Amino acid sequence: MKYFSSLFVAIILLSQTNAQTKLLQFSAGTNFNGTGDSFGFSFFTEYSKKFKKKLTWSNSLGGTINDGTLYSIFYPTPSGQLSDGSIRYATAGFQAASHIGYSFIASQKHDFQLRLGSVIRYQSTSLPDAVSLEYIPGVPFPVVVLQNLSPLRTLALGGSGQLVYNYTLKSNICLGVLAGLQFDTQGDTISQLMFTIGKRF
């Protein structure tokens, strides 16, 4: 009887340990596309699992949305009002990523990781490749000429690096911060800073 009681307790402890090796996490925050001139919003859902004490495999799905003003153009209308003819753009992408993470700190409450992985990214943008403004005498507003050399929609492969910190509460709820940098074959470089919330199970 004592043997079966000990075995039962061991199974419970083992199941609790295994239950905490998996993490479902949601992330949201800011990103900068390019050299930092295009500010945007990032959002991701991620599933990760520890396969060794300090090694984690994670997979995520999510996206980024960026917009901005390429040229600010204001001109007076015949009625005397000021009209906004600025050239605006939006860039949106959806991506899947997979990372291997190494935990420099791995305890029941604290986990600090460096992750390296790969990304596949679909992106669509209205950003033109070249813009020229022409001022014609007698015309109260500039004539804008846009030139598009790149495709509207792209599919690219890339690499990604992340620094991740998670703090686990008593209820196995995790709160954390994620900083990432990624690049792809289309020449896009995206840096991200996000807050995360998740649950270990």
Among candidates 194, 164, 201, 199, which has minimal Cα distance to 62? Answer: 194
At a CB cut-off of 8 Å and minimum separation 6, what does 86 contact? 69, 70, 71, 72, 73, 74
In this predicted structure, what is the pLDDT of residue 29?
Answer: 98
31 is in which domain, residue-wise? 2-200
pLDDT digits (tens, 9 = 90+) for 123-147: 999 999 898 888 888 887 888 899 9
Tokens of 125: 């943008």
In this predicted structure, what is the pLDDT of residue 18?
Answer: 45
pTM of structure: 0.82
Q: How many domains does the chain have?
A: 1
| Residue numbers of the chain with a pLDDT score lower than 70 | 1-19, 35-37
- The whole-chain average pLDDT of the chain stands at 88
In this predicted structure, what is the pLDDT of residue 104?
Answer: 95
In this predicted structure, what is the pLDDT of residue 11?
Answer: 38
In this predicted structure, what is the pLDDT of residue 133?
Answer: 87
Tokens of 148: 């598009």
Query: Is 95 exposed, middle or buried, given 0-12, 13-18 or 19+ CB atoms closer than 10 A?
Result: buried
Is residue 164 within 8 A of residue 174, CB to CB? The reply is no
In this predicted structure, what is the pLDDT of residue 8?
Answer: 41
In this predicted structure, what is the pLDDT of residue 94?
Answer: 97
Residue 196: CATH number of its domain: 2.40.160.20
